[in-house]
Structure 1
Amino acid sequence: MIDLYYWTTPNGHKISLFLEESGLPYRIHPINISKNEQFQADFLKISPNNKIPAIVDDEPADGGEPLSLFESGAILLYLANKTGAFIPQDLRGREEVLQWLFWQMGGLGPMAGQNHHFARFAPEKIPYAIKRYVDETARLYGVLDKRLGDREFVAGADYSIADMAIYPWIVSHEWQGQNLDDFPHLKRWFEGIKARPATVRAYALVARINPEAAKK
């Protein structure tokens, strides 16, 4: 059983996507970040950086005590290794997935996150900051669109943890000032993942866990 400490953010969705795709049994522990529940002492024991998502695996492969993990990219990689799914087993295929996973972790996620902040949440609208992050998000979308021009998924023919990491950040494309019609290969990829049954199930959690977000 995987205990998932979760909220309805792009990084939270990465892990619910994997769990729904893999069929691993899991239970959700909501961490309402709008109420600062991520700073509670019990959660900090699992996620010392006070960020969601985090997991606890009560049946790790070494047969030892329950294993806790934080950081969404590390969790995706752990779960892929645990199940042998959604990551190639050959050297070149595995590295292809990992570089795009890290591209999301180091590029798309942080840049789109700053885009969200300055465009929608900052108390002061700073045109320079908004333009900087909207433009950088557009550049990254362009990189992804080109990548998808000759392959079905980010790392090749098979759906992987790289796709799971990237997709939730594209869901918010309108917030980020991006039009998917400008990125036809990306749009095709996005619509395909959106239609996957596991994606539908993962995003259905929003209505149960965070009804206000579902309304928006």
Structure 2
Amino acid sequence: MDMKMAELAQRSGLSVATIKYYLREGLLAPGRRTSVNQAVYDDAHLERLRLIRALAKIAGLPLQTIRAVIDSVDGQSSVLHAMAVTQDALVGDVEEEEPVSDEGRLEALTEAERVLDETIRARGWECEPGSPAHRAAVRAVAQLHEEGLTALVGRLDDYAQAADAVGRTDLEAVTGAASLEETIRGVVLGSVMRRPMLDALVLLAQQHYARQHATI
């Protein structure tokens, strides 16, 4: 369905100025010219803008990262590759707060990676060891060790089991999307907007089990 710029802005939830910016940056294909100063746009433009909005407004990703995701989609990538690019973008570059030159810190990271990889193998997960998500998990486990929260690290497989259910649910929720862009948008929105909901549900579960323990 053809639509003018004003309708495209209204339906996408973006301002006309923002859409024109994305056009200039090459993130959105030009519309079909109907006159020297007029163009019309279609559902493909709307779908692209909804993806860009999810990446920019919801996930808060910078333009360069958004471009990488868009390039992956435009490059006829497989769903798996496009999702990997998107997940890496959502996690971001996992950098140490300080160079890992301290021997104790290096040992902590090495041990954390060993524990994490044992859990991954036990669950039969096929993961990328060098991915931002893997590095973030290693860092999180190491920080738990450093804070003396060994009881939590000792239950890592229980947390992995819960994560398995969440990850499977996320993927099932976007399976069957009409296009690759819709799939990636679902991954972005699901990952970002699910976090506060899941955190709140965990807090509610903590309240429940704390009350149970208090009555024992």
Please, what TM-score do these two structures have when normalized by structure 2?
0.30
Work out which structure has the larger RCO, using CA pairs closer than 8 Å and 6 or more positions apart in sequence: 1
**Bigger proportion of residues as helix:** 2
Q: Of the two, which has the highest radius of gyration? A: 2
**Bigger proportion of residues as strand:** 1
